[in-house]
Structure 1
Amino acid sequence: MAEPVPRVGVGVLICKGSRVLIGRRRSSIGDGTYALPGGHLDFGETWEECAAREVMEETGLSIVNVKFAHVVNTVMRDEKRPSHYITIFMRGELSDPNALPENLEPEKCDGWEWVEWPNVPLPVFRPLQSLVESGYKLS
């Protein structure tokens, strides 16, 4: 079997005041951990396009003012499927501040909730844990 190769993931901080949207993962990587909406960067896609697409696919929410926030390098050798991700964190705002998230991929997420940043419930997905540990601030 070939050695796994690094992949590019995009995580999205959807900000509502001092809160961010998180969900509990259902995946072979980070199963049962809390993470931001996001996914893999597609060929030819900008980081902003990926962030907006993934948020729409997973939550039904439309975001605007999407900007780079942070990047982390995470090697997860202890997962069921060992992996190495470069995770680009983007930050965006709801185009409609009153919009509510829907769980459009229940096979990949148990549901969405707003939490005070940086108080993400445990266990935290490793790339998101690295972002929290970096001291990233929303303001």
Structure 2
Amino acid sequence: MTTDNRSIVRQALEALIATGDVDALASSLSDDFVHHRPDATRTKADWLAAVRGALVPLAGMQVEIRHVLADGDHVVMHSRRRLPAAGPEIAVVDIWRLDDGLIAEAWEIIEPVAEATAHLTWWEGPSGAAGF
């Protein structure tokens, strides 16, 4: 089952990246799919609309999938993404939960690579003292 879940996620995302076919991605999502980010939670329709809206600005984006790990009904993917013409690079961790062969939930964390060093000491306040 773990290998199948990893394959489901990988195929859905590779097809989206290669062709921009949002409908193919939609068929991999459950009807009650929920997308979680630190700043928002979206329904299937809202998330697919956001993906469609990002296709033009992100056209030509290079995606390097570095790791795909699976444990039961969860799949974790770590990727590096860069816009064309030496645009900014981001590191992304996606966590996918599958149910009955469909992606039911997703969590996403994005970090600009250029800001990674500053984020290593996020707990230090502006004065350098622990901020928690």
TM-score w.r.t. length of structure 1: 0.28
Larger relative contact order (CA 8 Å, sep ≥ 6): 1
Of Structure 1 and Structure 2, the greater helix share is in: 2
